[in-house]
Amino acid sequence: MAPVFDYAPAPESRSVVDIASSYGLFIDGEFTEAADGKVFKTVSPSTEEVLSEVAEAGEADVDRAVKAARKAFEKWSALPGSERAKYLFRIARIIQERSRELAVLETLDNGKPIRETRDADIPLVAAYFFYYAGWADKLDHAGYGADPRPLGVAGQVIPWNFPLLMLAWKIAPALATGNTVVLKPAETTPLSALFFADICRQAGLPKGVVNILTGDGRAGAALVAHPDVDKVAFTGSTAVGKQIARTVAGTRKKLTLELGGKGANIVFDDAPIDQAVEGIVNGIFFNQGQVCCAGSRLLVQESIHDELLDSLKRRLTTLRLGDPLDKNTDIGAINSAQQLERITSLVEQGEAEGAERWSAACELPENGYWFAPTLFTGVTQAHTVARDEIFGPVLSVLTFRTPDEAVAKANNTPYGLSAGIWTEKGSRILAVANKLRAGVVWSNTFNKFDPTSPFGGYKESGFGREGGRHGLEAYLDV
Partner 1 sequence: MSDARLSVLKTYKLYVGGKFPRSESGRVYEVTDSKGNWLANAPLSSRKDARDAVVAARKAFGGWSGATAYNRGQILYRVAEMLEGRRDQYVREVAAAEGLSKSKAAEQVDAAVDRWVWYAGWTDKIAQVVGGGNPVAGPYFNLSSPEPTGVVAVLAPQESSFLGLVSVVAPVIATGNTAVVIASERSPLPALSLGEVLATSDLPGGVVNILSGRTAEIATPLAAHMDVNAIDLAGADEELAKELEIAAADNLKRVLRPQPVDNWSATPGTDRMSAFLETKTVWHPTGSLGASGSAY
Active site residues: 258, 292
Using rule CB under 8 A, residue 445 touches partner 1 = yes
Q: How far apart are CA 37 and CA 56, in angstroms?
A: 8
Q: How far is the CB of 247 from partner 1 (least distance, A)?
A: 9
Q: How far apart are CA 314 and CA 197, in angstroms?
A: 44
Q: How far is the CB of 120 from partner 1 (least distance, A)?
A: 12
Query: Is residue 36 within 8 Å of residue 60, measured between CB atoms?
Result: yes
Q: Smallest Cα–Cα separation from 220: which of 23, 65, 388? A: 65
Residues of span 258-287 touching partner 1 by CB under 8 A: 259
CB of 389 or CB of 460, closer to partner 1: 460
CB of 359 or CB of 445, closer to partner 1: 445
Query: What SS3 class is residue 293?
Result: coil
Using rule CB under 8 A, residue 250 touches partner 1 = yes
Residues in the chain: 478
Beta strands in 152-208 (DSSP E): 153-157, 180-184
Query: Is residue 320 within 8 Å of residue 331, measured between CB atoms?
Result: yes
CB of 112 or CB of 465, closer to partner 1: 465
Q: How far apart are CA 88 and CA 172, in angstroms?
A: 7
Q: How far apart are CA 49 and CA 54, in angstroms?
A: 14
Residues of span 356-415 touching partner 1 by CB under 8 A: 414
β-partners of residue 233 are 156, 256
- One residue of 216, 359, 429, 477 binding partner 1 per CB under 8 A: 429
Using rule CB under 8 A, residue 106 touches partner 1 = no
CB of 21 or CB of 246, closer to partner 1: 246
Q: How far is the CB of 391 from partner 1 (least distance, A)?
A: 18
- One residue of 442, 474, 475, 476 binding partner 1 per CB under 8 A: 442
Using rule CB under 8 A, residue 231 touches partner 1 = no
Q: How far apart are CA 222 and CA 229, in angstroms?
A: 10
- One residue of 242, 313, 342, 357 binding partner 1 per CB under 8 A: 242
**For residues 360-370, b (16+ Cβ closer than 10 Å) or e, as one string?**
beeeeeeebbb
Q: How far is the CB of 123 from partner 1 (least distance, A)?
A: 9
Using rule CB under 8 A, residue 337 touches partner 1 = no
Instruction: Tell me the number of residues near partner 1 by CB under 8 A.
Output: 42
Using rule CB under 8 A, residue 146 touches partner 1 = no
Q: How far is the CB of 467 from partner 1 (least distance, A)?
A: 9
Q: How far apart are CA 313 and CA 319, in angstroms?
A: 10
Computed on alpha carbons and rounded to an integer, the radius of gyration of the chain in Å comes to 22
Q: State the residues that interact with partner 1 by CB under 8 A.
A: 127, 143, 145, 238, 241-243, 245-246, 249-250, 257, 259, 414, 429, 433, 436, 438-445, 448, 450, 452-456, 458-460, 462-463, 465, 468-470, 478
